[in-house]
Structure 1
Amino acid sequence: MLLRLDLQFFAGEKTEKATPKRKHDERKKGRVAKSQDVNTALLLLFSLIVMAIFGSFMKDNMLALYQHSFTEYIHWELNEKTLFQIFTEVAIELLKIVGPVFLIAIIAGFASNLMQIGFLFTTEPLKFDLKKIDPIQGAKRIFSLRAIVELLKSIFKIAVIGTITFSIIWMYKDDMLMVAFKNAESALQFFGQVTLVMGISAIIALMVLAVFDYAYQRYDFEKNIRMSKQDIKDEYKNIEGDPLIKSKIKEKQRQIAMRRMMSEIPNADVVITNPTHFAVAIKYDETEASAPYVIGKGVDHIAFKIREIAKANNVMTVENRPLARSLYASVEIGEVIPEEFYQAVAEILAYVYRMEKKV
């Protein structure tokens, strides 16, 4: 009894790698190995590239908006119409400034996901599930090992990025104190330069962290979808079908094929026999095939049934032991006879046609 329980326990252990079908099913549900750090790193990288390329354009537009605000808007009388106009014009200018960054951020988001998991569209995660609002399940997720690992990772990332950011600010602290004595254009240029240095440093750190995080996410995902030996057996049964049901289906298919074959025997030109053990029904129809073909064959009991049906439908039976055996072994039902049998079969068909004319 104890031995059986031990075997059941080990059979239920998740020790086997997930099968391709299991991975495909998990993917359809939207469960894939993905690192958010890769997304963040690529998003920041693309955004900085855009800022580096369009930096002068963004600076010129910001200065133009600054000058326009303090030379034009400041003198306007505030009412409903002017407020709406100011809001509209400022919104358009801001959209011009940050638009390229927003656009590239969207592209970077798609690119990072495609790079990690390929194209995936599923509505499975959006389906309503009571387990998602179950407080017990929620508590388990909050205090799970994965949640603790994610918390420690977040703290470590904050510490690393915070240290890098603070170090760069500390490097430029003297220049920052002198910004108050610079004009707006020089101040914007300085802060743009500092932001670029901070961004590049943060990206390098995030890229390194992303490599380790992606490896961990893949490992954790593969671990979570592991299967037991029993799971693999059940999956195989579901794919291949229960052996008992499969055997019944095959038996049913054989019966249907047999009935179809027997229904064709009355259309045969001749049945070549062994005389008792083998029977092969031959038909020649120029519109169907270029040579005679087999429409039915059988051995022992089936051969007897073929001869019986042939006799009942006045189909001639010819005994030729070697030919019957050879045709049975070489030709499947519906196939044209091979060339080596042409002469022997032609002689039999000629004999049959002569006998039918005499009758």
Structure 2
Amino acid sequence: MDYSLRLSYNLQFFAKEGPGGEKTEEPTSKRLGDARKKGQVAKSQEITVAADLFAFFILLKVFSDILGNRIINIFRRSYNDIPDHMKQINGRMPFKTMHTELVRILLEVLITAAPFFIAGVVLALLCNYIQFGFKVVTEPLKPKPDKFNPINGLKRIFSMQSIFNLIKSLLKITLISAMVFITLTRRKESIFLLYGISLNQGISLMWDIMIEVGIRCAAVYMIVAFIDFVYQKHKFHEDMKMTKQEVKDEYKDSEGDPQIKAKQKQKMREQSMRRMMKELPKADVVITNPTHIAVALSYHEGEDIAPRVVAKGEDFLAKKIKDAAKEHGIEIVENKPLARMLYANVDVNEFIPPELYKAVAEVLAYVYKLKGKV
């Protein structure tokens, strides 16, 4: 008998597509803007760390003499004051003096370390600004329940980001270890001299070697940071890509549903047509193409500065205008060039331009003559 074990699984668990299909569309500016508001930007922390590390060792090299003298003075003064501190501990001197001395030493240490601290803060802000600008957001501080989901946790553990982080860590260890080995090998002759030189000379030599190793390792770290930055930019771009359905949904949200907009435009056209037909009985003449275009004009001497278009339309609407004109006894005059000019250049409820005064005046004079007004 065949006792085979069959396991069912859902391949969608491993899929990268979002709802609506595969993410093949470029991210829109709105999607990128929304992500930025949530604190989701393409950034590499390694850039900041590498820059701070490089600046730290450069400052050590530049200010080594000043820094060394300050440290020696702090140590010397503290060492010389040990007898007085012992008297204070034994109760022979007030404890306030010892407290003041400790505060002084702490302030000197803080002043000595201040340039390194300031440089670190400035570089961190500058690196972040160069990568994604400056924007204060509180969204990343909000608790997210999905972070406590064990399934999501497993996905993060076995994600491409985790694999890349592992490769990046191995690369950092390998490159930095190799750089330390190469630098120490180059300076091995100097290191062997430690047996025959004074303490101050030995400290100075080890200080120089330490700074050289640090600068070289920081330079190597810069290479890793650049690789990480390129990857983070690529990954962020891929994560921000959208499915076709997401693009459609975003367009509907920002621009409105096309069907709804079409209905709104249709409703506006109907309202406009009703207003035109309501104003049409006030017209004095309707100028036609004769079949495709109809423009109704009105002019009240003493009230209007020029003849005004009260209605216009083409095809079906032109026919309705002509039918309404016949119903209300309004004269219909065929003038193809004038009808086209009026239809193309004058909107409803606008006065005609001066260049058409003469042509319209001739039509109105003809209409008034028919009606016996002149």
CA deviation digits over 1:119-151, x for unaligned, max 9? 343322222210122233223312334213312
Aligned mates of 1:106, 1:148 — CA distance in 2: 30
* Residue number among 44, 62, 69 corresponding to 1:60 in the alignment: 69
- Give the counterpart letter for 1:105 in structure 2: G
Identity of aligned residues (%): 37
Aligned mates of 2:60, 2:347 — CA distance in 1: 73
Aligned mates of 2:60, 2:124 — CA distance in 1: 17
Residues 1:321 and 2:329 are matched in the alignment: no
Aligned mates of 2:166, 2:365 — CA distance in 1: 90
* Residue number among 124, 130, 134 corresponding to 2:149 in the alignment: 134
* Compared CA separation, residues 182 and 338, structure 1 to 2 (3 A): same
Aligned mates of 1:357, 1:82 — CA distance in 2: 119
Residues 1:148 and 2:156 are matched in the alignment: no
Aligned mates of 2:46, 2:166 — CA distance in 1: 14
Name the residue aligned to 1:182: 199
* Compared CA separation, residues 173 and 187, structure 1 to 2 (3 A): closer
Q: Which runs of 5+ in 1 are unaligned?
A: 1-8
Residues 1:92 and 2:112 are matched in the alignment: no
Aligned mates of 1:63, 1:167 — CA distance in 2: 31
Given that residues 285 and 364 in structure 2 are in contact (C-alpha distance below 8 angstroms), is that contact kept between their aligned partners in structure 1? Answer: no
- Give the counterpart letter for 1:23 in structure 2: L
* Residue number among 41, 50, 54 corresponding to 2:50 in the alignment: 41
How far is 1:109 from its partner?
A: 0.9
**Which deviates more from structure 2 when the two are superposed, residues 74-83 or residues 133-142?**
74-83
Residues 1:50 and 2:71 are matched in the alignment: no
Within 5 Å, give how 1:188-203 maps onto structure 2: 189-203=204-218
* Compared CA separation, residues 356 and 125, structure 1 to 2 (3 A): farther
* Compared CA separation, residues 335 and 43, structure 1 to 2 (3 A): farther
Residues 1:222 and 2:240 are matched in the alignment: no
- Give the counterpart letter for 1:273 in structure 2: I
Aligned mates of 1:61, 1:19 — CA distance in 2: 55
How far is 1:206 from its partner?
A: 1.3
How far is 1:304 from its partner?
A: 6.9
Aligned mates of 1:261, 1:81 — CA distance in 2: 96
Given that residues 29 and 124 in structure 1 are in contact (C-alpha distance below 8 angstroms), is that contact kept between their aligned partners in structure 2? Answer: yes
Aligned mates of 2:25, 2:119 — CA distance in 1: 38
CA deviation digits over 1:297-352, x for unaligned, max 9? 2346655776798899x997563533334312343335553454221124456788
Residues 1:159 and 2:141 are matched in the alignment: no
Aligned mates of 2:174, 2:142 — CA distance in 1: 37
Residues 1:173 and 2:191 are matched in the alignment: yes
Aligned mates of 1:73, 1:310 — CA distance in 2: 114
**Which deviates more from structure 2 when the two are superposed, residues 95-104 or residues 83-92?**
83-92
* Compared CA separation, residues 44 and 336, structure 1 to 2 (3 A): farther
* Compared CA separation, residues 346 and 166, structure 1 to 2 (3 A): same
Aligned mates of 1:92, 1:355 — CA distance in 2: 106
How far is 1:10 from its partner?
A: 12
* Compared CA separation, residues 295 and 106, structure 1 to 2 (3 A): farther
Name the residue aligned to 1:5: none
- Give the counterpart letter for 1:182 in structure 2: L
Aligned mates of 2:195, 2:266 — CA distance in 1: 90
* Residue number among 28, 52, 55 corresponding to 2:37 in the alignment: 28
Within 5 Å, give how 1:176-325 maps onto structure 2: 181-183=198-200, 189-259=204-274, 261=276, 270-274=284-288, 278-282=293-297, 292-299=307-314, 302=317, 319-322=333-336, 323-325=338-340
SS in 1 for 2:42: coil
Given that residues 294 and 321 in structure 2 are in contact (C-alpha distance below 8 angstroms), is that contact kept between their aligned partners in structure 1? Answer: yes
Aligned mates of 2:139, 2:26 — CA distance in 1: 20
* Compared CA separation, residues 308 and 47, structure 1 to 2 (3 A): farther
How far is 1:101 from its partner?
A: 0.9
Given that residues 286 and 325 in structure 2 are in contact (C-alpha distance below 8 angstroms), is that contact kept between their aligned partners in structure 1? Answer: no
- Give the counterpart letter for 2:107 in structure 1: I
How far is 1:249 from its partner?
A: 1.7
CA deviation digits over 1:97-131, x for unaligned, max 9? 11111111111111212222233433222222101
- Give the counterpart letter for 2:36 in structure 1: R
| TM-score for the superposition, normalised by structure 1 | 0.76
SS in 1 for 2:215: helix
SS in 1 for 2:63: helix
Aligned mates of 1:80, 1:291 — CA distance in 2: 102
Residues 1:121 and 2:136 are matched in the alignment: yes
* Compared CA separation, residues 201 and 327, structure 1 to 2 (3 A): same
CA deviation digits over 1:233-274, x for unaligned, max 9? 4444444433322211211222343455556667x6744333
